Amino acid sequence: MATMVQAVRLALHVGETKLGVTDIFGEDVGPPLGGVFTATQGLRTAWNSPLDERGIVGAAMGLAMAGQKPVAEIQFCDYAFNTIDLLKLAGNTLWSSNGDWNVPLVLMTPVGAGIHGSLYHSHSLDAQATRIPGWKIVMPSNPRDAYGLMLSAIQDPNPVMVLIPKALMRVKAAGPDEMIPGEPEDPRALGKMIDAPIGQREGWEPEWPETALEFVPIGAAKTVRRGEHVTVVTYGRMVGVAKRAADVLSREDIDVELIDLRSLHPYDWPAIAESVARTGRAVFVNEDTEITNFGEHLIRRCVEELWDSLRAPPILEAGKHLPGVGLAEPLEAATIPGLGSVTDAIRRCVRQPDRRVGNSRPRRDFAFTWTGEAPVGPFDAYERAFRHR
């Protein structure tokens, strides 16, 4: 039973042996450390870069445009902010070259709070990442999704950012549904196979299990829990928090439907719209700061496109708009959403009066059918048009 960081490592091994990954690199990514969270231990193509995030992104772009398939790591997303102009270039290359140049690179980086990392190890990147057109953005909430999303990112012909909640790195699968097909069920057995020994590592070689080539489609959300009173849309570390909040509220006869978005771009609008149109109430939860938050974009679409179905104004539960996240545990808890604040936000949404009572306007009906493929939006349409040129 893999942890999330072991799942990422297993996916990268599959990537370099079956999907053509040529370079896995970043600060301390290669031997002897194998990554600050050990996500790259034992990988054949892993190497260390200088401490220069712009150099890492620039090298990845160059390798990708020269026909290689790199996976680059920014050690903490807090240090990705000085690479924004290069990320723009990577994202717009397909468009600006009229479809002539793909940039098949993966950029992975740990995000979010929960480890008391304070100013430079607790930021979120959701909002900034989704403002850079041309990138696909994914964020897993469990080991199996981390494995499948990483494989999809590697296979994609254009840049994909894999945002990994750092507080979930050591978290194991919650049950068989979150296990990777082919991995040993005993976590100690898996650890002996792929975790580097502490201390002397010279001559150590991992023993990789034969895991399945299982992809999680980019753009496909997962309904974690069915409910009828309110829709909660979230991703990453907040999925587990929202699950616990739903359990608390079930004792108050509040039935929560929980959607794990998994992909921030392209995102699964049909899944969100179908659920919100049915429950009439929506709460969007994430760790990023509340001003110009990605959840605000989703609220805007709900208001513009689902107005006649909404029983109450949607609510955003997000991080405080502060320069940093508090170091001490009470300060960190006061900065970002937690079980108490998420539970209160959902309860507040459900207890608002039904604005449709007395409204004679007919409710707009929605009928979305999930086909198993990623939804087609403007971004997908333009990318597919170029891909087949």
Helix 238-250 vs helix 339-351: angle between axes, to the nearest 10 degrees? 50
* Nearest-10 crossing angle of helices 378-387, 84-96: 60
Calculate the alpha carbon distances from 136 to 14, 149, 298, 380 in Å: 21, 11, 17, 10
Active site residues: 121
Residues 6+ apart with CB under 8 A from 20: 69
User: Within 13 Å and on the Cβ side, how many CA atoms surround 211?
Assistant: 32
73 pairs with which residues across the strands?
A: 26, 108
DSSP 3: B
What are the Cα distances from residue 106, in Å, to 35, 83, 321?
A: 16, 15, 29
H or E element at residue 161 = strand 160-165
